[in-house]
A and B are shown apart, each in its own frame.
Chain A
Amino acid sequence: MDLQISKGWKIGTACLAILALVSIGAAHSAAPKTGKERVVKVVAKRFIYTPNEIILKAGVPARLEFTSLDFVHGFKVPDLDIRVDLPPGKVTTVHLTPQKAGVYDFLCDNFCGVGHEEMSGKIIVKD
């Protein structure tokens, strides 16, 4: 099967702050229509996400497209109950619709080497 939906529509734990759907292979995904989505491409490599600050707007759907260059990094946003593996060689897509302004930390939660502890970032949701 081409599509692996590892996380269905997800209601975040932080006050229903976000809706998210994670898929691998966006072309085949049952994701929402992409026309209104804000697309953010993120590169993950040891030991940094680029960009490591992702600015989104509350209520506006977004699609995060991750490409990992060197490791099965993780992408975890604890306060939004989002986590996914980022295997190299494919695009991993996270669809989300942040509902509430705020700053949400994310991190790599797959130990990837000596700089693993530094591999983190923030999703900044603005009104």
Chain B
Amino acid sequence: MINRRDFMKLSAVGGGAVFLSGLSQITQAAAAYDDFYFVQLSDSHWGYQGPANPEANNTLRKAVETVNGLELQPDFIMFTGDLTHTTDDPKERRKRLTEFRDIVSDLKVKNVHFIPGEHDASLDNGAAFKEFFGETHYSFDHKGVHFVTLDNVSDPGASIGEAQLAWLAADLAKQARDARIVVFTHRPLFDLVPKWDWATRDGAKVVQILMEYPNVTVFYGHIHQENHHMTGHIAHHSAKSLVFPLPAPGSQDKRTPLPWNPAAPFSGLGFREVEAEDKPFQLKITEFPVTRA
């Protein structure tokens, strides 16, 4: 029988690039651990209508189909924000959240986590999001890894705020210093491109807290493309979107969406698998397109 690790080697061939994240410093493993993988989906912007994606009404559904078609299903799925495209109308916002929830309810995997993006939450401080998906920041444990989600979007100014920072510090204080910690958030926690608003206003305070722990990796969305960055020993990995790609960080004056390519529809879009492997512990990232041949 094929094991998980062998399967990932095979799936990587069809999936795309594989990126090994840090955490290799671990020498003392946490108590119970088992190989597993999760899927990160991000920035579906359900409700968007525009030339950057004339197939916006189908893209999320195609991604759901592709995830459901994975031979081995993930232990859980994480959506890292901008589930919906923003609207001023509270009723329309809830309609979009309803439609989004209905579509992703077709996922085979039922262990699905959500955090908001600024398009979901900044205009009502997360009120509608909470009605549908609960708290905007929380933590959970899975097979020896501690997962933390952070909300840097319910404040329209992209601040996490002192209360959430205190919660984060208290949450992590319960962990062993060498715990395996994975953080999910929407915006980058570091100043990637401040002039494009690709930052978190008090992200440096989060990083300062995280720096106390040697085995931390951050996964985020917001920038609609794969990007890998280190702050000290902490690796930050952004995900592709499910609506339209954005230009490379700082590569042009404005962060306007890249044009839709009719010859290669859905190009630049996708999702990722992240396999948590033991011995040595590492996070193996495999990128997938929205649709697979």
Contacts and interface: CB of A to CB of B under 8 A. Distances in A.
B255 A117 contact: yes
Contacts of A110: 156-157
Given A107-B195, A109-B201, A74 B88 contact: no
B195 A105 contact: yes
Contacts of A74: 157
A101 B168 CA distance: 43
Interface string B89-122: 0000000000000000000000000000010001
A78 interface: yes
A113 interface: yes
Contacts of B123: 111, 113
A78 B86 contact: no
A111 B194 contact: no
Contacts of B256: 117
Chain A, interface SS category = mixed
A111 B85 contact: no
Contacts of B196: 107, 117
A120 B256 CA distance: 12
A27 interface: no
A54 B58 CA distance: 43
Given A110-B157, A111-B158, A117 B197 contact: yes
Nearest to A104: B195
A118 B254 contact: yes
Contacts of A105: 195
Interface in A84-123: 85, 105, 107, 109-114, 116-118, 120
Interface range for A: 10 to 19
B197 A112 contact: no
Contact of B254 (A114, A116, A120): A120
Contact of B197 (A72, A85, A107): A107
Contacts of B11: none
Contacts of B255: 117
B87 interface: yes
A108 B118 CA distance: 14
Contacts of A120: 195, 254
A20 to B, nearest CB: 16
Interface in B178-233: 191, 194-197, 201
B204 to A, nearest CB: 14
Contacts of A113: 86, 88, 123
A111 B195 contact: no
B118 A111 contact: yes
B281 to A, nearest CB: 36
A57 interface: no
A78 B194 contact: yes
A107 B191 CA distance: 15
Which of B87, B191, B254 has the most CB atoms of chain A within a 10 A radius of its CB?
B254
Contacts of A116: 86, 118, 197
A45 interface: no
Interface of A: 72, 74, 76, 78-79, 85, 105, 107, 109-114, 116-118, 120
12 contacts: A74-B157, A85-B157, A107-B195, A111-B153, A111-B157, A114-B85, A114-B86, A114-B87, A116-B197, A117-B197, A117-B255, A117-B256
